Structure 1
């Protein structure tokens, strides 16, 4: 069975208009000069998608909404933090497909400023027509979402509940397909990528990429993740479980162990969504050298990790590295206080 057929046999709602481009960051390479140690830095522009401001969650939502519609659901209920990119893109995707959307936003980040609580993604959630529930500190978002689903059912509807980040085995199928996409594009441009660098939040993107890489015969350890949500040990264990669940969903007998995963925890800082000086520096460097927007929660920390990996030669001198730009630029406006210093 061709690789693409492995994922195309699942219910899917098309939310993207083809593969996202891969581009070399030539000007950034010039700015870094000798500091880049001959490493060629490329980005896969998963921020460049037409729907909802773009971002990696659309790959997951293609399959999650496919699952919801196959089950006859008329409403999608999703959970996330206040500045959830998944919630924003779920709202946009539901607007496109005619489904009702409710987003349940939990206080996952200790930032109580008005700019954080009401700006950025929250503005877009409402603009796309979602019913927004902002919970108090300590409230259980998952439990709230399930109660809302029960209330919707009681009133004659049927709700699909999307878990944090959409990181179910079905959601991860979007990044199994992305792994095949990268393999094809790498061949087309004649550039083999020695490492693929990503952020790891809820783990679905990493799980899908690892499963897709393994099916394609590549070493999963070549996918280098910087955790932005949980400490490295917890992230490794959770991600390994997700990878194996994806294999099972695909009907593959392949399995991985925790030691097969390449996950680093040095960029987490004080925790999920808490700014670090390294993140701010990476966001500004890429913005000022390439005019591109890294988000402050995921991409900024992961790109700071990439720069550190070049410096410490975790990324081998002279190699080709591909960074996946996962989108999330609306979140920059919620972090203006952290980014506005020169």
Structure 2
């Protein structure tokens, strides 16, 4: 079954298709299964990452409304904020980023490097808020202007997920004979788009959603809510695990660092500590526990976030 998204407004921003990279040394290190990585961390604009696919549809919809300013939200080291800033710079739009200190860190590396450094480089107006009340007041002030569009956290709404419906069709065309797709889950837009794409394609593949912030039950509800707006999810094989979340969003774990080093030292692939690193930790645990069989072929969806790695330099170099 084909996926047709031609009826939705879209601005092409990335370099598609992204590579599907075979990883024989990683496969060997884990004793099978065959692992491939979908390189959505390498897609051009704004240092790459999964949010670019969502932004193609979000910006497409916004530009039809004649906006000149985009407002969005995120944590201080938000990948979505950084890519939104880059997209707005490319298209000549004003970008207002409302960032919250949602991760318990106050070191110089976290507060001044990584994504927040790039936000400023791309010319965004960065508003750092300490409380929910400050966040609401800042948003109300900015949204009162004319010709503004508001994008949700992570770009995760019914429009944003279309980017990963398209990505799933792209992956299916590259290699249909796989058993599992492993995806990080935060705001759930990426996983929801993949879930909807799988169903629209009638593709007999299991979606493994690895939580990085919420519980498995919360993530299941978010994925279902978003994906159901696009596709009938009957028959979807969805496996959700929150085993790698650890103490919370953006808080590193030993297992995450282990997975990050494993990818780096076998394949030269750089993960990030918040999303792809924790999803990789979940996948590694599932392989070592036999939950993913040695005879399977799986795709790990690399969602990017590499600039955020530099915000965690003290742990990485210590």
TM-score range, shorter chain: over 0.9
**Structure 2: stretches of 5+ with no match in the other structure:** none
2:118 counterpart (104, 107, 124):
124
Q: Is the 8 A contact 2:244 2:281 kept in 1?
A: yes
Residue aligning to 1:272: 249
Find the aligned partners of 1:62 and 1:89 in 2 and give their Cα distance: 11
In the alignment, is residue 234 of structure 1 matched against residue 218 of structure 2? yes
Residue aligning to 1:87: 81
1:9 counterpart (7, 16, 26):
7
The 4+ residue runs of structure 1 with deviation greater than 6 A are: none
Find the aligned partners of 1:128 and 1:144 in 2 and give their Cα distance: 21
Find the aligned partners of 1:289 and 1:236 in 2 and give their Cα distance: 32
In the alignment, is residue 334 of structure 1 matched against residue 318 of structure 2? no
Between 1:264-273 and 1:129-138, the stretch displaced more is 129-138
Find the aligned partners of 2:281 and 2:196 in 1 and give their Cα distance: 25
Find the aligned partners of 1:104 and 1:83 in 2 and give their Cα distance: 11
TM-score (norm: length of structure 2)? 0.96
Residue aligning to 1:51: 45
Q: Is the 8 A contact 2:3 2:200 kept in 1?
A: no
Find the aligned partners of 2:12 and 2:63 in 1 and give their Cα distance: 12
More helix by share: 1
1:273-312 mapped onto 2 (5 Å cutoff): 273-312=250-289
In the alignment, is residue 193 of structure 1 matched against residue 178 of structure 2? yes
1:245 counterpart (229, 241, 248):
229
Residue aligning to 2:135: 141
Count residues with an aligned counterpart.
318
1:291 Cα deviation from its structure 2 partner: 1.4
Residue aligning to 2:58: 64
Q: C-alpha root-mean-square deviation of aligned residues, in Å?
A: 1.6
Provide the secondary structure at the position in 2 that maps to 1:8: coil
